[in-house]
Amino acid sequence: MRVNENILISSLTTMRLGGPARYVIEVESPRDVADAYGFARTFNLPVFVLGYGANTIGHDEGFNGIIMINRMRGITEEPTANGVQLKIMGGEYWDNVVEYSTNKGLTGIEALSKIPGLAGAAPVQNIGAYGQEIADTLVSIEVYDTASGTFRTLTHDELGFSYRHSILNTTEYGRYFVISITIKLQPGQMQRPFYNSIETYIDENGLTDFSPASMRAIVSAIRADKLPDPTEKASAGSFFKNIYISEAEAEIAGDKGYPVHRGNDGIKISSAWLIEQCKLKGKLLHGFRVNEKAPLVLINESATSYQDLDKARAEIINKVYDKFGYWLEQEPVEIG
């Protein structure tokens, strides 16, 4: 366990905002996790669990508590009747997991390629892309329960998955620290029809191979074209969630000419489309650029304060509401 003091949150997060954290503790074993929470209880300090630093926003005043970072790594395999179970330590970089599985010809998470973050964060907000979600493959997670001070296993059904939600970021927020996750994959490939952007890419490039490794390459290429690398351009990833609506609302939206997507995860309207229709794509707002190719992404070009972000966010949300009557919801979490 490594304990650091007065570390700028801006140096730990990809949006590069935030003042000093009183402590940053890097945990390298389950025992470290228990010790770190014991340290927090002794000094009555709040704890924020940070992964890769994407999807997270810091505040100017910093955080008078402990930011805990998972450094536990490793992947182990266990054969099953029709596939493989992978147990992945929470500090493993998520895209390494996708690469590992697709190299073995396993399907189930290839569409989740290039999502920045750690494996332990994947079930927290039920990461998803291009028709796949971590909930589709997750079997269980191993956690430290701060309420009881014990290690537990939570099954898929106990996690209450929905779009970008689980109990880990809603009803039980802050209670569990994810030690490891177990997912079940199998040989095979994704089936058509794919998302429009994938189908377009396949048609334009004359592709016929839809193996996990090929789909990973396709998704990686699409994301590289649309989404800036947060290590090169400061952003938190997708900043707004898509709008999920009822069937009745979908009929009204369809009558108005709004593009409505029906998928296994529900009925939604693209928030990127809404932002684009408000002519915000490419605009610079209070130091934040609305990404030209992926309007859900806000790039921090010159902003230095949370107040700048607050102004840019409010301007986008209000313009979308005024034009369409939908409230955009922020995806990144905030420290403190």
- Start-to-end CA span in the chain (Å): 23
Contact 306, 17 (CB under 8 A): yes
223 catalytic residue (yes or no): no
- Two tokens, residue 175: 């209670």
- Spot the catalytic one: 28, 158, 249, 331: 331
Answer yes or no: are the C-beta atoms of 189 and 215 closer than 8 Å: yes
**164 a catalytic residue:** yes
- Mention every residue, 6+ apart, whose C-beta is less than 8 A from residue 16: 10, 234, 300
* Rounded Cα gap, residues 156 and 173, in angstroms: 17
Q: Known catalytic residue: 331? A: yes
Q: Does the CA dihedral 249-250-253-259 come out positive or negative? A: positive
The Cα 165–Cα 171 span in angstroms is: 10
The pair of structure tokens assigned to 161 is 């998955």
Q: Would you call 18 exposed, middle or buried from its count of C-beta atoms within 10 A (0-12, 13-18, 19+)?
A: buried
Q: Catalogue the long-range contacts made by 280-287 (C-beta closer than 8 Å, 24 or more residues apart).
A: 280/316, 280/319, 285/311, 285/312, 285/315, 285/316, 286/311, 286/312, 286/315, 287/312
Exactly one of 101, 180, 238, 271 is catalytic; name it: 238
CA distance linking residue 31 with residue 140, whole number of Å: 20
Out of 16, 92, 140, 164, pick the active-site residue.
164
The residues assigned a catalytic role are: 164, 238, 331
